[in-house]
Amino acid sequence: MANNNGNGKSLESWIWDAACSIRGAKDAPKYKDFILPLIFTKRLCDVFDDEVNRIAGEVGSRLKAFQLVKADHKLVRFFLPLLPDDPEQPVWSVIRKLSDKIGEGVTTTMRAIAKENPLLQGIIDRVDFNATTHGQRDLDDDRLSNLIEAISTKRLGLDDVEADIIGKSYEYLIRKFAEGGGQSAGEFYTPPEVGTIMSRVLQPEPGMEIYDPTCGSGGLLVKCEFAMEEITKGKQRSVAPLKLFGQEFTPETWAMANMNMIIHDMEGQIEIGDTFKNPKFRNRQGKLRTFDCVVANPMWNQDWFIEADYDNDELDRFPAGAGFPGKSSADWGWVQHIHASLNATGRAAVVLDTGAASRGSGNAGTNKEKSVRQWFVDHDLIEAVLYLPENLFYNTTAPGIVLFLNKAKAKERERRVLLVNASQIYAKGDPKNFIPDEGIQHIAETLTGWKEEEKLSRIVEHAELKKNDYNISPSRYIHTSDAETYRPIAEIVEELNAIELEARETDEALRSILKQLGVGG
């Protein structure tokens, strides 16, 4: 995103300058909560200026244009109730010239803009720039003034920057704070190249409905729109946009996702709340709404959902034979929710912890997680599994996998799964690895074309998966080196932990039964 304008700085260095202007004022995770709404407002102001200038070209002056827009808000996409003292000055100057009680002034301005634009309510007016903690301002006026000045150095109008500025700003800040080892290092950030592979494999078509149950700032949904536009290049005006739906648990991130949809001018509906316990997208009968495609990167190995959360579900998300995958990881619980959210021909791409592909396989006895995995294999819902390179994600060095589901597999793909071991397709980065463009293309083409390639991909029959106790990890079937290959240590440790946990749970259950029978202490 090396887009330059204004003072010639790249978008990255411009955003980082803005972040540094308040460094120390807040913990790293909170920076974005101040910076991004201001960047979003700057974009709104500059686009509003562009629209006022267009109207002024027709009516003779900016003052007349302001008067017309005030009388008829429909002339612009978002009406901003901001009029500079000099109509020739940019609208942003109203914020930039605040000199007294700046925090109060910015908050009041944001709320006035939201009041005029219902679509922005709860999104742009969430942050109190005047907030205090124990009588101390969270962001004092001096630092806020520095932040406004830093943001003022770049124009964000229609012709100045690409529409993806909020998404890229968000991704960039999350990445920078993760690099710095701040508290946000644990916050989930899907590497852009992983999202690109997912969207290219799903190949969303015009007008499709796409859903992300754990949408974060909406990055994966936006990637799907980009993939569709890429496929229909040159026909954009004649194709219907995707209809994007997402749910996000964290209020600040929910607001970011909405900003992302708005700034891209995409058709989106982002709901707030806990998708696992209360999915917001329902049909008229109160059942789960279904979609053409689902993309997701749920938090890995969530351990706060208990068996009762699965048993008490009234939406038929957790079928008999699958259901509760054990308390230590909700990965396959999310996969079940995603499967239930697909229509009869629906397809999905979901990022999971590497261990989700193999935990429990090869153990003596039963394993809940393996049982759910077996249910998905036996019902022929898994089309492909992609094993990613190590050290792509910011909160772990673990590789991760992408699981591809298809409820209507082509006849020639039935009872078979394409496994792709892309562990060697990466370039060294600082501090994280990344998949270069040619690697993204190679992986996506392998998955869409169902191509077999030595040391990269194999089509595996269900009989072989069954023989390997439903281990679906590509690293189990495709060895990438010439020497004798050992399974990744992280994968083995994951399995040992799962075995230990299951043994503990069995011991506790047995002790409880013996106690009820009056045997033992």
Please enumerate in sequence order all residues whose Cβ is within 8 A of that of 355, keeping only pairs 6 or more positions apart, or say none.
Answer: 301, 329, 490, 491, 494, 495, 498
The whole-number pLDDT of residue 434 equals: 94
Contact 355/498 with Cβ under 8 angstroms?
Answer: yes
- The answer to the question of residue 517 being in a domain is no
Q: Judge if 368 and 254 occupy the same domain.
A: yes
Can you give the pLDDT at residue 1? 41
Cα torsion 17, 21, 23, 26: sign:
negative
Q: Are residues 262 and 386 in the same domain?
A: yes
Domain assignment of residue 513, yes or no: no
Q: How far is CA 29 from CA 18, 39, 252, 314, 509, in A?
A: 14, 16, 11, 36, 41
Are residues 463 and 325 part of one domain?
yes
pLDDT digits (tens, 9 = 90+) for 162-199: 766 766 776 777 667 666 554 343 345 688 899 999 99
Tell me the C-alpha to C-alpha distance, in Å, between residue 508 and each of 147, 179, 285, 415. 56, 41, 41, 39
User: 268 with 413, same domain?
Assistant: yes
CA distance 369 to 326: 6
Lowest mean pLDDT among 1-5, 32-36, 128-132: 1-5
Amino acid residing at 492? I
CA nearest neighbour of 228 among 266, 278, 193, 179: 266
Say whether both 229 and 367 belong to one domain.
Answer: yes
For residues 444-470, give the mean pLDDT: 97
Residue-wise pLDDT tens digits, 344-359: 999 999 999 999 999 9
Looking at the structure, tell me whether residues 221 and 310 fall in a common domain: yes
| Same structural domain, 244 and 111 | no
Pick the last residue of a domain from 147, 173, 199. Answer: 173
Please state, in angstroms and rounded to a whole number, the distance separating the CA atoms of residues 40 and 381.
41
Separation CA 158–CA 50 (nearest Å): 7
Give the per-residue pLDDT at 183.
39
Give the pLDDT of residue 24. 62
Position 286 pLDDT exceeds 80: yes
Instruction: Give the CATH number, domain containing residue 84.
Output: 1.20.1260.30
Same domain, 164 and 251: no
Q: Domain for residue 290, yes or no?
A: yes
Q: With respect to residue 305, please indicate whether it lies within any of the assigned structural domains.
A: yes
The span from the CA of 5 to the CA of 161, in Å, is 8
Nearest-angstrom CA–CA distance, 372 and 370:
5
Beta strands in 55-208 (DSSP E): 132-133, 136-137
The predicted structure's pLDDT at residue 495 = 66
490 — pLDDT class (breaks 50, 70, 90): low
Per the CB < 8 A criterion, the answer to whether 342 and 294 are in contact is yes
Strands 291-296 and 401-406: unpaired
Q: 294 and 442 share a domain?
A: yes
pLDDT tens-digit series, residues 398-452: 899 999 999 999 999 999 999 999 999 999 987 789 999 999 999 999 999 999 9
Of residues 468 and 31, the one with the higher pLDDT is: 468
- Distance between CA 103 and CA 5 in Å, rounded? 28
Residue 19 lies in a domain: yes
Mean pLDDT is lowest, of 298-302, 331-335, 394-398, for 394-398
Residue 253: its pLDDT value, please? 84
pLDDT number for residue 484: 46
66-116 pLDDT tens trace: 999 999 999 999 999 999 999 999 999 999 999 999 999 999 999 999 999
Its domain, for residue 395, covers: 188-482
What pLDDT score was predicted for residue 184? 44
Q: What domain count does the chain have? A: 2
Q: Does 168 map to a domain?
A: yes
- Same domain? 163 vs 259: no
Judge whether 470 lies within some domain.
Answer: yes
CATH number at 438 reads 3.40.50.150
Does 153 lie in the same domain as 253? no
Instruction: Kindly state whether residue 300 falls inside one of the protein's structural domains.
Output: yes
Q: What is the mean pLDDT of residues 144-168?
A: 85
One domain, residues 255 and 327: yes
Give the model's confidence band at 271: pLDDT under 50 very low, under 70 low, under 90 confident, else very high. very high
Range in 282-296, 415-429, 497-511 with the lowest mean pLDDT: 497-511
Structure tokens of 408? Answer: 């209507």
